[in-house]
């Protein structure tokens, strides 16, 4: 992973990175995924939305609930 990041930041193209890894015997089905994935680059944001569930009928719980996605306050994002 460190090699992929270093080469990507040094300006190497994705194809060149993949070729270098293959030439060195390192299998690389897609060299660009780790370099662009927000989980690995530190840009992923957690807690943007929440799921609010409300009962459809409080007198008849068997009817289930309604789910709505709501945005959290940006100050609460992680």
23 C-beta neighbours (distance < 10 Å), count:
8
| pLDDT score, position 66 | 96
CA-wise closest residue to 17 among 9, 2, 7? 7
Per-residue pLDDT at 78: 84
pLDDT < 50 stretches in the chain: none
């Amino acid at each position: 992973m460190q090699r992929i990041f270093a080469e990507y930041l040094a300006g190497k193209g994705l194809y060149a990175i993949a070729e270098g890894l293959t030439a060195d015997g390192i299998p690389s089905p897609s060299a660009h995924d780790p370099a662009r994935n927000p989980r690995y680059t530190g840009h992923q944001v957690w807690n943007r939305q929440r799921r609010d569930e409300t009962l459809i009928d409080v007198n008849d719980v068997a009817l289930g609930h309604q789910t709505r996605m709501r945005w959290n306050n940006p100050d609460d994002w992680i």
